[in-house]
């Protein structure tokens, strides 16, 4: 064999040996790198409605457990956020993650964030970040005790007739994320209203209260009155 052919042959053998050796020695690292760089995909979130831990005067409620399924979640350094609030990870299988709604969570997006990930808030997009919509429902702990929640759009109003001492569950939607909820009644009423993250405020035996709404698309409240007709408005 001529010298230049021999040298060429030896060079090829060296390259093949190096590739094979790197494959054997670094296969685990390469697999982990692949998991961390491939984009995560969320296929399902169950349930899509839940609440953080609530401690109210009339009941306690533990945070909703949420199961996220998909692919390429990564096995290490993966984090879960509800908007900007980090949630605990109970387990992570790479294709399924169990978490709970954290204190301070509000309606918006749930995110799976991998190493070095950056999420574009208010969307389901980002770098090494994928999101899915999630609704924080402060009425969940009541299990429809006061009937189905009645929805009112911003700019509209509804009349409610109270037969005896009765409580109505109401939700007012504010696309503009600001406005006021007014409760107009002939007599005094009790109103319990919730922040976007389910902290609550009680107004006891008040007359025609006005509740300001800022930086929130939803106001959930409960109105208690006796034998009157009240009007609830969102403006």
Q: Are residues 133 and 146 in the same domain?
A: no
* Domain annotation covers residue 34: no
**Cα 124 from Cα 130, distance rounded (Å):** 6
Q: Are residues 149 and 129 in the same domain?
A: no
Given a cut of 80, whether residue 3 has pLDDT beyond it is no
Given a cut of 60, whether residue 91 has pLDDT beyond it is yes
pLDDT, mean of residues 98-121: 96
User: Which of 14-18, 71-75, 84-88, 213-217 is predicted least confidently?
Assistant: 14-18
* Domain annotation covers residue 17: no
Tens of pLDDT, residue by residue over 129-165, are 999 999 999 999 999 999 999 999 999 999 999 999 9
* Domain annotation covers residue 19: no
User: What percentage of the chain carries pLDDT values higher than 90?
Assistant: 78
Distance (Å) of CA 100 to CA 82, 96, 97: 10, 14, 10
Q: Are residues 123 and 180 in the same domain?
A: no
* Domain annotation covers residue 32: no
Name the more confident of 122 and 9.
122
Q: Are residues 109 and 194 in the same domain?
A: no
Model confidence band, residue 124 (pLDDT cutoffs 50, 70, 90): confident
Query: In the listed set 120, 137, 154, which residue is the last one of a domain according to the structure?
Result: 137
What domain count does the chain have? 2
Q: Are residues 128 and 201 in the same domain?
A: no
Q: Are residues 94 and 148 in the same domain?
A: no
> For position 127, which CATH number holds?
2.60.40.10
* Domain annotation covers residue 62: yes
pTM of the model: 0.79
Q: Are residues 190 and 220 in the same domain?
A: yes
Average pLDDT along the chain: 87
Percentages helix, strand, coil for the chain (3-state, rounded to 5) are 15, 50, 35
CB-count exposure of residue 181 (10 Å: 0-12, 13-18, 19+) = buried
Q: Are residues 197 and 221 in the same domain?
A: yes
How much is the pLDDT for 32?
46
> Which domain, by its residues, includes 59?
41-137
**Cα 195 from Cα 75, distance rounded (Å):** 35
**Cα 181 from Cα 101, distance rounded (Å):** 27
pLDDT, mean of residues 189-193: 97
Q: Are residues 115 and 146 in the same domain?
A: no
* Domain annotation covers residue 12: no
Q: Are residues 53 and 115 in the same domain?
A: yes
Given a cut of 70, whether residue 6 has pLDDT beyond it is no
Note whether 134 and 45 are within 8 A (CB). yes
> For position 191, which CATH number holds?
2.60.120.380
Q: Are residues 127 and 149 in the same domain?
A: no
Contacts of residue 191, defined as CB under 8 A and 6 or more positions apart, other chains included, come to 183, 202, 203, 206, 209, 211, 221, 222, 223, 224
Q: Are residues 226 and 186 in the same domain?
A: yes
Query: In the listed set 89, 118, 137, which residue is the last one of a domain according to the structure?
Result: 137
Contacts of residue 34, defined as CB under 8 A and 6 or more positions apart, other chains included, come to none
* Domain annotation covers residue 36: no
* Domain annotation covers residue 157: yes
């Amino acid at each position: 064999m001529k010298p230049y052919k021999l040298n060429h042959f030896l060079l090829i053998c060296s390259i093949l040996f190096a590739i094979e050796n790197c494959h054997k020695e670094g296969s685990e690292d390469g697999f982990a790198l692949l998991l961390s760089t491939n984009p995560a995909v969320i296929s399902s979130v169950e349930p899509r409605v839940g609440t953080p831990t609530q401690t109210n005067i009339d009941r306690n409620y533990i945070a909703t457990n949420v199961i996220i399924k998909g692919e390429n979640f990564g096995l290490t350094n993966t984090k879960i956020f509800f908007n900007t609030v980090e949630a605990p990870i109970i387990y992570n299988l790479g294709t399924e993650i169990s978490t709970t709604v954290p204190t301070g969570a509000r309606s918006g997006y749930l995110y799976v964030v991998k190493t070095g990930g950056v999420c574009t808030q208010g969307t389901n997009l980002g770098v090494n970040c994928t999101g899915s919509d999630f609704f924080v429902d402060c009425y969940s702990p009541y299990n429809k005790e006061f009937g189905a929640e009645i929805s009112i759009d911003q700019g509209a109003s509804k009349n409610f007739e109270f037969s005896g001492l009765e409580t109505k569950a109401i939700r007012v939607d504010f696309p503009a994320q600001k406005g006021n909820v007014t409760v107009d009644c002939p007599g005094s009423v009790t109103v319990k209203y919730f922040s976007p993250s389910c902290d609550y405020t009680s107004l006891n035996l008040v007359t025609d209260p006005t509740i300001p709404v800022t930086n929130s698309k939803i106001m959930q409240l409960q109105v208690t009155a006796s034998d009157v007709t009240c009007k609830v408005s969102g403006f």
